[in-house]
Structure formats: structure tokens, C-alpha cells
Structure 1
Amino acid sequence: MNRRKALTIGVGAVALAAGAGFGWWRERRTALPEAERALWDLQFDRPEGGSLPLAGLRGQPLLLNFWATWCAPCVKEMPLLDAFQRTHQPAGWRVVGLAVDSPTPVREFLKNVPVTFPIGLAGLTGVDLARSLGNERGGLPFSAVFGRDGRIIARKLGSIGEQDLAGWVRQLA
């Protein structure tokens, strides 16, 4: 085999390997982790009746907040989350609260502190869901922010502040 032919075969092999590697990297980069993918198939009962399917929220920025009526920081941040929902809904943002609680206390709480964003009843399985989304300690409140592609772009264990919300809006602008 002459040098020119060997060089051509070598360059072709390198190009093929680079193309395959790029394809693998791109697929890996765009594939959703299993927990994020499974989230969009879930639906939750709502305190007022009916269900809350998460599939209809995919494709828009979503702030998913895990909370409970017995969690003081959770209760304290509810008005902030409600104001955020009302202000940013026209830009496509959605807020969903998943109550890691029993239905009766949630219903009683929402009578006294109504919110404009949907609440789903996650019960104690909400702790497992939050852990699968990155809440390693299982604490509350816990929030996960999803981009339009359905991927988590931010997580926060503990109370949310104005700075967090503003940063997430900038990140998805």
C-alpha cells in the first residue's frame, strides 16, 4: 500500500471517529436524566378536586416548589411565589407547588392563604420525588427550576428570595 492511500484511509478513520464521538456527545448532552424525563409523565390530585398533569407544563419555564403546611419557611415564601407567578406568567413562566402533606391540612391552609398557581398533592412520595430531582437531604422548602427543554437549570434547598427569582428569569431570558 502506498503512502497516499494509507494517509487517506487514516484521515478517513479519524474523521469517522470524530463524527461518531460528536454524535454521541450531542445525544448525551440533549438526553434528559431519567428523573427529569419521568417527571413530565406524573400527575397529582389537586386540593380542590381534579388533577394536575405536569405534561402540559413542559416547554415553558417552570418553578416547581415542594412545600408543606407545617414548614414555616415554606409558608413564608408562598406570597412571594404567588407574586412571581402573577408577574411572570405573561412571559410564559409557571409556578407549581407540590404539597408534601396530607390533603386536609393543605385545603385548610389554602382557604387562609389562597394562591393563583396550581397546587398538587404529592404526599410523602413528594420527598422521594424531590430527592430524585436533586434534594439529597430531603428538606423543605425545595425548588427546582426547569427550562423550556424540560431540563433542570437550578435547584434550591431552603427559602427562595427575590435574588433567586431574578437570577432564574435572567438565566432563561
Structure 2
Amino acid sequence: MSEHPRKQRRRLAPVLAVIVGLGAALGGLAAWQTWFQPELRPGFSLPDLQDDEQRSISEWDGDLIVLNFWATWCPPCVKEIPVFTALQDEYGEQGVQFIGVAIDNRDDALSFYDELDMNYPSFYGVQEAMDINEAYGNEMGTLPYTVLIDRNGAIVHRFNREVDRDDIEPVIQEHL
């Protein structure tokens, strides 16, 4: 004898509830990973301005990194470098490391680096530096462009414009 349709539905209801619940949980996990997982910084190596040796961003893993893309022909870039130099002096002992990436040729960037008395490392390059700039989220290629990377390697803030002390210092303090 066949079971009554109402009894069949009652037996299937818990099974369907479990299936729907698992689907919702998996969907929620996927959404969380998409929306809330930190974006980790891309790795890269470029030549250092001072000694022309290849260096990697990974040398500063564990520090709070302020990565700034700049060029000698960019007036706002030049304006913010003294701010970064002062902040490097003030926060360096707390594990804050400013790093520059000059989208420029070495000779021009090096004379600028020396003239502005920059106290933090700066890499240089042209096309490769522009590609790295884009990999860090600057799809328009505007300069200056600054990215804060926390001690775990996650990108926590981006500035796609010139920044001053009032813009960047609170963000640095928030992630110390």
C-alpha cells in the first residue's frame, strides 16, 4: 500500500530543510569570502634607486607599509614626499615603512630622491612600475597613488590623489 501524500511530504520536509540550509550556508560562505576576505598585496621586485639592485616588497612583510607611486614630472607627488619623509621619521620605530615606486627613469628619479632628501627606500621603473601600480588597484594610472598595507599583507586603504598629513596620519594610527 502506498503512503499518503501528506505523510510523504512530512518525511521530505526535514530533508529539504537540511538541503536548503546547506545551500544557504555555502552561499553565505562564498559571499563572505568574496566581500570580506582581505585583498592581499601583490608581490613584486624592482631595482632600488640608490644601488640599482633588485629588491622585493616582501622584505618589509610584518611592517605597516605605505606604498607610494610617484614621478618627478608629477607636482602633487613632489608636494607629498616631504610629508612622507616626516611621517617615516615619526613612525618608523613603530614598524611603519614608507616605500616609493618612481614611475620614471633612474637618473631623473635618483636626483629627485637626493634633492628631496627622501629617507625611505624607493624603487624605479617605467612600464613594469606602471603594471605594478595597476596591480595595486590604480586602473586609471593616475599619480600620485598611495596604498596602505597592514602587517598581515592586506591592502587596507588606497588614496588615488595627493595626500597630506591630515589624510594619511589617522589611517596609519588606525593600523598601528
Number of the residue aligned with 1:54? 57
Which residue identity lines up with residue 112 of structure 1 in the other structure?
E
CA RMSD of aligned residues (A): 2.3
Deviations 1:66-85 (A, max 9, x none): 11122222122111101111
CA deviation after TM superposition for structure 1 residue 3, in Å: 4.9
Contact kept, 8 Å, 1:64 with 1:143, in 2: the verdict is yes
Change (3 A) 1:159 1:10: same
Number of the residue aligned with 1:96? 99
SS at match of 1:148: coil
CA deviation after TM superposition for structure 1 residue 4, in Å: 4.5
Range with bigger deviation, 60-69 or 50-59: 50-59
Matching of residue 45 in structure 1 with residue 47 in structure 2: yes
After TM superposition, the score normalised by the length of structure 1 is 0.82
Number of the residue aligned with 1:5? 11
Which residue identity lines up with residue 72 of structure 1 in the other structure?
P
Structure of larger gyration radius? 2
Unpaired stretches in structure 1, ≥5 consecutive residues: none
SS at match of 1:66: strand
Change (3 A) 1:30 1:121: same
Identity over the aligned pairs, expressed in percent? 25
Matching of residue 144 in structure 1 with residue 150 in structure 2: no
Tell me which of 19, 30, 37 is aligned to 2:37: 30
Tell me which of 63, 67, 86 is aligned to 1:64: 67
What number of residue pairs does the alignment pair up? 168
Number of the residue aligned with 2:85? 82
Contact kept, 8 Å, 1:47 with 1:120, in 2: the verdict is yes
Number of the residue aligned with 2:3? none
Inter-partner Cα distance in structure 2 for 1:90 and 1:128: 31
| Paired residues for 1:106-125 under 5 Å | 106-125=109-128
Contact kept, 8 Å, 1:101 with 1:124, in 2: the verdict is no
Number of the residue aligned with 2:23? 17
Inter-partner Cα distance in structure 1 for 2:133 and 2:159: 11
SS at match of 1:140: coil
After TM superposition, the score normalised by the length of structure 2 is 0.81
Inter-partner Cα distance in structure 2 for 1:71 and 1:48: 20
Tell me which of 166, 172, 175 is aligned to 1:163: 166
Unpaired stretches in structure 2, ≥5 consecutive residues: 1-6
Deviations 1:13-50 (A, max 9, x none): 12211321233233333263xxx55x22x111012222
CA deviation after TM superposition for structure 1 residue 110, in Å: 2.3
Contact kept, 8 Å, 2:38 with 2:154, in 1: the verdict is no
